[in-house]
A and B are shown apart, each in its own frame.
Chain A
Amino acid sequence: MVDDKTVDVLQKKKVRLNNTAILFLILVVMFALFSYVGRPFFFSKLNLIPMINNLSFVGIIAAILTMVMVSGEIDFSIGGNIGLTACLTALLLEKGLPGWLVVIIALAGGFAMGAFNGMLVTVVGVNSIIATIGTMFIWRGIGYTITNGESKLALNTVIDYIGRGFVFKVIPFPIVLLVAVFIITYIIMNHSKWGRRIYAIGANPLASFLSGINVKKVKFIGFLFCGAAAALGGLVLTSLSAVGMPQHGQGQELVIISAIILGGTALGGGRGQILGTLAGVFILSVLYNFLTIMNIYYFYIQMVQGSVLILVVSTYEIRQAVARRRT
């Protein structure tokens, strides 16, 4: 005979997997499967380190963009920002500026681009999709204009270290950056007042405003740091490829936004997890890397990416609809 207490304990023990856990589970299964199918190349140092480096540059931007997207806005200009940062870095290095100064100027440029987007959205009051599609053209166009469409070598000890350096001779520097960015954003989003404000704004901007949150300020700062993160990503990419060219980051906005949405962030804001974004970035990068290794045509890889995006979002929507029906 089962008494009430045991029933209680039993019910509590019934573990409910949340979306993020499911994503990580999928990632582990995928990784194991790919290591087997793609042996011996997939699970080798020669493949894993470049994969992780590429993934970090996407992840750094995705983490910060998640904050912007949870607050209900979006930034399409990240790809253009990467391109302009890469060009700026290469040009300044060519002028003979020291590496550390170039990094500071590039990051300052990122902040400036972010501030411009933020002003457009908060002060002028323009829809962020359109505003950032416009600025995407502008940043990339400026990148093309200042380099005259050419790619320029970017070789410098500091710049080299950002993308290709190793901390303690083992850990690639980009992964250190990635981990740092994710720890910081995780703490902000889950354990700070600021993070609670971001969630509140995404869920209901009017209610947040009425309860005394400075909505515009929070959104503006989100855009500001999104610009800086994109510039940091641009620096990593410039370092990885050792050239600054205006085509850098073309189409990356779609990859990054796909990863974020895969991670469970709602487009309208209010929902989203930093760890989910991390899982999304890993899943897309691993999948992409595996398909490339298997020698699959680039456009078919894109097809797979598109299908994955639609499939994942459909499952979210259907699960939510089922949950709503239950209550």
Chain B
Amino acid sequence: MEKAVKKYSGFLSFLRTPTPTLIGIYIVMMLLFSLTSDKFLTIQNIKGIYNNFAVFGILAAGVTVVMIGGGFDLAIGSTAGLAGIVSSVLLMKGIEVATPWVFLIAIAIGCTVGLINGLIITKVGINPIITTLGTLAIFRGVCYFWADLNPRVYNVFVQNFGRIYLGNVFPITTLYIIIAFVALTLILKFTRFGRDLFTIGGNETLARLAGIPVDRIKILSYVISGFFCSVAGLLLISQLGSGRPEYGTGAELEVLTIVVLGGVVVGGGRGNYLGVFIALIIIQTITNGMVLLNVPVFLRMVVKGALLVLVIAIDAFRNKRHLQLY
């Protein structure tokens, strides 16, 4: 009996997250697009949709961790760009560092940037939005140190890293995203780090008083985000075949839209990867569907913005348990 009640309340709490709304939106969208365009529901197109969200998906994996802990990471685009251009320079003809080293160096760069962000935010005590806005500009500038080299990627392994399809249908990048999301879900649910992170996001003062090492866990969350940025940077150079200093510009807003749409609460304490995954598919499907429907390029921006506003408005209405007075 007790178990049944618990299950019911668990289901209710699932209903209270934006995930059901998202699934609804997705179904409506699929119907709409497949009725209006005969090219939409083809394997070729679906394949494309899934392969195109690789970079944003990997970035969203890290940002979700940071945001659940009450943080904010706007430096992701620059970090991915930095990891991308450095590894593409290392792969250039004449330098040709061995592939495993390139991956290690890229990951080291991402983690270092995350560590720097985390240290400034926790030890100096600056607001995360301000800190990462600053590091966004700084690391984008660093990317331009190699602007004149224009490196191309000839390394076969790196080329395949973000491009191959398993069984010619299933993009390997989607597999990475699924692995990352499942692993992070398990980590957040079943490890001490995960539970502490949710506690910190819910109420930082309380977490501190309860003896949780708040600073250490927050720093770790930024390092995790940095790690995923470096993977995203490698995916960028793999998919685009070259390294350019501007890669990843503006990714932070796109990823923020996805993560918030997926029901991760700004301010922390709530969020799940299922929602983020569906949001990822929705954003990419909308982009794709609008291309197929010949919606003018510029109107797509309006639609994306409106979608973000709409979803958080619905979320705000749904979670209004008591009257908001101020």
Nearest B residue to A140 via CB reads B301
Q: Number of A residues contacting the other chain (C-beta, 8 Å)?
A: 50
Confirm or deny: B50 has a beta carbon within 8 angstroms of a beta carbon on chain A.
Answer: no
Establish whether residues B267 and A127, one from each chain, have CB atoms under 8 Å apart when the complex forms. yes
Q: Of the 9-residue stretches B10-18, B19-27, B198-206, B302-310, which lies at the interface with chain A?
A: B302-310
Known: A141-B299, A141-B302, A307-B138. Is A131-B312 also a contact (CB below 8 A)? yes
Residues of B within 8 A of A133 (CB): 253, 256-257, 308
B320 at the interface (CB under 8 A from A): yes
B127 contacts across to A, CB distance below 8 A: 267-268, 313
Asked if A48 is an interface residue, CB under 8 A from chain B, the answer is no
Over the window 127-138 of chain B, the binary record of Cβ atoms lying under 8 Å from chain A Cβ atoms (1 yes, 0 no) is 101110111111
Q: Are A137 and B144 in contact (CB under 8 A)?
A: no
Interface membership of B140, Cβ < 8 A: yes
A137/B131 in contact, CB under 8 A: no
- Asked if B298 is an interface residue, CB under 8 A from chain A, the answer is yes
Report whether B298 and A317 are in contact in the complex, using a CB–CB cutoff of 8 Å. Answer: no
Could you say which of B101-109, B118-126, B208-216, B276-284 contacts chain A?
B118-126
**Residue B326 CB within 8 A of the other chain:** yes
Alpha-carbon separation in the docked complex, A43 to B298 (Å): 42
Give the contacts of A108-133 with B (CB-CB under 8 A).
Answer: 120, 124-127, 129-131, 133
Given contacts A137-B301, A205-B326, contact A306 B136 (CB under 8 A): yes
Expressed in whole angstroms, the Cα–Cα distance for A87 and B324 within the complex equals 37
The answer to whether B312 touches A318 (Cβ under 8 A) is no
| Whole-angstrom CA separation of A168 from B320 in the bound complex | 56
Among the listed stretches A1-9, A89-97, A169-177, A208-216, which one makes contact with chain B, having 4 or more residues with CB under 8 Å of it? A208-216
Q: Are A134 and B124 in contact (CB under 8 A)?
A: no
Contact with A along B240-266 (1 / 0, CB 8 A): 000001000000010011001000001
B297 at the interface (CB under 8 A from A): yes
Q: How far in angstroms is the closest Cβ of chain B from A169? A: 40
Report whether over half of chain A's contact residues are helix, strand or loop; otherwise say mixed: helix
* Docked-complex contact A310 and B135, CB < 8 angstroms: yes
**Tier of interface size on chain B:** 35 or more
Tell whether B166 is near chain A: CB-to-CB under 8 Å. Answer: no
Q: How far is the CA of A134 from the CA of B301 in the complex (A)?
A: 10
CA distance A134 to B320 in the complex (A): 21
Residue-wise interface mask of A (165-206) relative to B, using a CB-CB cutoff of 8 A (1 in contact, 0 not): 000000000000000000000000000000000000100011
| A310 and B298 form a contact (CB under 8 A) | no
In the complex, which residues of chain A have a beta carbon less than 8 angstroms from the beta carbon of B260? 130
A24 at the interface (CB under 8 A from B): no
Contact call A309/B133, Cβ cutoff below 8 A:
yes
Q: What residues make up the interface of B, taking CB atoms closer than 8 Å to A?
A: 120, 124-127, 129-131, 133-138, 140-144, 245, 253, 256-257, 260, 266-267, 296-306, 308-309, 312-313, 316-317, 320, 324-326
Instruction: Show 23 A/B contacts (Cβ-Cβ < 8 Å), sorted by A.
Output: A125-B324, A127-B267, A129-B266, A130-B308, A134-B309, A137-B253, A137-B304, A142-B302, A145-B296, A299-B143, A299-B245, A300-B144, A302-B138, A302-B140, A303-B141, A305-B137, A306-B133, A306-B136, A306-B137, A309-B130, A309-B137, A313-B126, A317-B125
Spell out A's residues near B (CB within 8 Å): 120, 124-127, 129-131, 133-138, 140-142, 144-145, 148-149, 201, 205-206, 208-209, 215-216, 246, 254, 257-258, 261, 267-268, 297, 299-300, 302-303, 305-307, 309-310, 313-314, 317-318, 321
Known: A135-B309, A141-B299; 19 extra A-B contacts, CB below 8 A, are: A127-B267, A129-B129, A130-B256, A134-B309, A135-B305, A141-B303, A144-B298, A145-B298, A149-B298, A254-B133, A267-B127, A268-B127, A306-B137, A306-B141, A307-B138, A313-B131, A314-B120, A317-B124, A317-B126
Which 6 residue pairs across A and B have the least CB separation, nearest first? A137-B305, A303-B141, A306-B137, A141-B301, A144-B298, A141-B302
